[in-house]
Amino acid sequence: MPPGRYTRLVRLDAIGEAGHNRIASSHAVIVGCGALGTVVAELLARSGVGHLTLLDRDFVDLTNLHRQFLFDESDAAEGIPKAVAAERRLRAINSEIEITSVVDDLRPRRVADLLGRPDVIIDGTDNFEARFLLNDYAVEQGIPWIYGAAVGTYGIAMPVLPDRTACFRCVFDGPPEGLQPTCETAGVLGPVTALIGSLQAGVALQILSGNTDAVRDTITTVDLWHGPLREVSKPERDPDCPCCGHREFEWLNGKHDTPVSLCGRNAVQIHSERGVIDLAALKTRLELEGTVRSNDFALRFALAPHEITVFRDGRAIVHGTQDPAVARGLYAKWIGS
Ligand SMILES: [Zn+2]
């Protein structure tokens, strides 16, 4: 009999047959299928994680391709949602595992529905608001999650093990004041996102194989251009932490929720409560006004200097502005209020 596909993984002393059986019966949720999320997803799929859920709110764009795995030029040309494109590619890589793709945005009211009760959650998001929300949900439910971020040539990763390690809120009070550098404004080096994604995937495999005790409760940072990988500190749990100390889940309870949010690259995301949109009817109407491209998942309406991408659930991303009022006005005018 030829060696099985996981032979080289099972051979690791720390994993073995028993560890891999645990991996094969586990569920990991990856929130955000960008530069970090796609690296994590590919590594976990190849390792045979039994069920992967991929959640992402955006679609593949040509500017993603220099660092985001799993996607190619045809995905960008067709504007396929990242979660859907990632699922397609992962199915070709490993047909033996269950893969669920979800095109949606992580918002307080929907977190439990979207994330469920997985064995681990991996952060592939690009903003602090989503991370505070993830942290609230994970701490409340007692689910381990793994923070990761990268911009420029710098990256950072930290595991959060509820009741054992500091949580995200013990370390960060709240979203930083003022405009932070983003991959759009500061650029980003592909190897650094691949490195941080690999660190996250490594911790995920420790947890999923039953080796949670081996997880190092440190913050790891790296500047891949200027310095070495460092474990900068072992964060202490803050007994006065609102989240893991007092169990006040402000982000989960929607205290900081907004219907409009900036989402990088000169774009504003708008949430709508209007429900499912008939994209075919919208396409017929908008074709009279500007350029429309659509697929099964979304419609893109270009009217220079703006472009509006509308998803079936009514959510939209308005490109070409950072002003929420302008975005809301364009949404009301073209899509409806
Ligand atoms: Zn805490």
Sign of CA pseudo-dihedral 97, 23, 170, 153: negative
Task: Classify domain 260-334 at the CATH class level.
Answer: alpha beta
Instruction: Give distance in angstroms: CA of 169 to centre of ligand 1.
Output: 5
For the chain, what are the domain ranges?
A: 7-233, 260-334
List the one residue out of 108, 109, 106 whose CA is nearest residue 122. 106
Instruction: Give distance in angstroms: CA of 239 to centre of ligand 1.
Output: 8
**The predicted structure's pLDDT at residue 148:** 97
Q: With the CA atoms of 320, 322, 326 and 328 taken in that order, what torsion angle do they form, in degrees rounded to the nearest 10?
A: 100
**Candidates 3.40.50.360, 1.10.10.10, 3.40.50.720, 3.40.50.10490; correct CATH number of 7-233?**
3.40.50.720
Instruction: Give distance in angstroms: CA of 246 to centre of ligand 1.
Output: 9
Q: Tell me which H or E stretch contains 223.
A: strand 219-223
**The predicted structure's pLDDT at residue 160:** 98
Contact 235, 170 (CB under 8 A): yes
**The predicted structure's pLDDT at residue 30:** 98
Catalytic residue among 170, 183, 241, 263: 183
33: annotated active-site residue: no
First to last CA, the chain: 62
Q: What is the mean pLDDT of each run of 10 residues along the chain (337 residues)?
A: 87 97 98 97 98 94 94 94 97 98 90 96 92 97 97 96 96 77 83 97 98 96 92 90 96 83 75 80 90 89 90 88 86 83
Instruction: Give distance in angstroms: CA of 29 to centre of ligand 1.
Output: 21
**The predicted structure's pLDDT at residue 259:** 66
